[in-house]
C-alpha cells in the first residue's frame, strides 16, 4: 500500500498554472482560492509572484490579444480584457494597436469564410452578422462589405 501523496503548495499550484499559459491576477486568484481558506494568503502570494516577475497583467493582455486578434474584433477582445479585471492603463496602448489593425483583421476573417462580396440583402445580412458576432465594429463591417481593401504597409 502506497502512502498518500502530499498536496502541492499554493505557490507550486500557481507556478504550474502560470507555466501552462499566462493568467490574469483575477483569474489566478479565483483558481487558487479553491485550495485555500484565507484570501489574504492568496493575495500575498499573488503580490510575491508579481514582484518576482512571474505574474504580469501586461504580459497576460498581450498574450490574450495575440491569441484572439486573428479571429475576433476589438469589441469582443476589449470585453474579454475587461472581464479579467485588467486596469485600463495596462491595456490602453494594446487597444490602440488593435484599433489600427481592425480593418485588416476583419477583412482576413471575412476572406477565410466567404468567397465574394454579397449580391443580395440576405447574403449581406449573413456576412454582416458573421463579422458582428466576432466583435468587429459596425463601421468596419460596412467597410469590408463595401469591398474596401485594407491598407498594406510596405
**What pLDDT digit, counting tens, does each position of 82-112 carry?**
899 887 777 888 888 888 889 999 999 999 9
Per-residue pLDDT tens over the stretch 23-81:
999 999 999 999 988 889 999 999 999 999 999 989 999 999 999 988 899 999 988 98
**Model pTM above 0.95:** no
Spell out the residues 6+ positions from residue 82 whose beta carbon is closer than 8 angstroms to its own. none
Q: What is the pLDDT of residues 112-123, one digit of tens each?
A: 999 899 999 999
Residue 17: pLDDT over 50: yes
Domain ranges of the chain: 10-52, 102-146
Q: In angstroms, what CA-CA distances link 100 with 66, 94, 122, 144?
A: 15, 10, 30, 15
Amino acid at each position: 500500500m502506497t502512502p498518500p501523496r502530499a498536496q502541492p503548495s499554493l505557490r507550486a499550484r500557481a507556478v504550474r498554472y502560470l507555466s501552462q499559459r499566462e493568467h490574469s491576477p483575477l483569474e489566478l486568484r479565483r483558481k487558487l482560492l479553491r485550495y485555500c481558506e484565507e484570501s489574504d494568503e492568496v493575495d500575498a502570494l499573488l503580490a510575491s509572484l508579481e514582484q518576482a516577475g512571474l505574474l504580469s497583467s501586461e504580459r497576460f493582455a498581450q498574450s490574450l490579444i495575440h491569441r484572439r486578434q486573428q479571429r475576433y474584433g476589438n469589441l469582443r477582445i476589449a470585453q474579454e480584457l475587461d472581464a479579467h479585471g485588467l486596469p485600463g492603463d495596462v491595456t490602453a496602448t494594446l487597444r490602440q494597436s488593435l484599433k489600427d489593425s481592425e480593418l485588416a483583421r476583419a477583412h482576413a476573417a471575412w476572406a477565410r469564410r466567404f468567397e465574394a462580396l454579397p449580391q443580395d440583402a440576405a447574403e449581406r445580412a449573413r456576412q454582416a452578422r458573421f463579422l458582428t458576432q466576432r466583435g468587429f465594429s459596425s463601421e468596419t463591417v460596412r467597410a469590408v462589405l463595401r469591398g474596401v481593401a485594407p491598407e498594406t504597409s510596405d
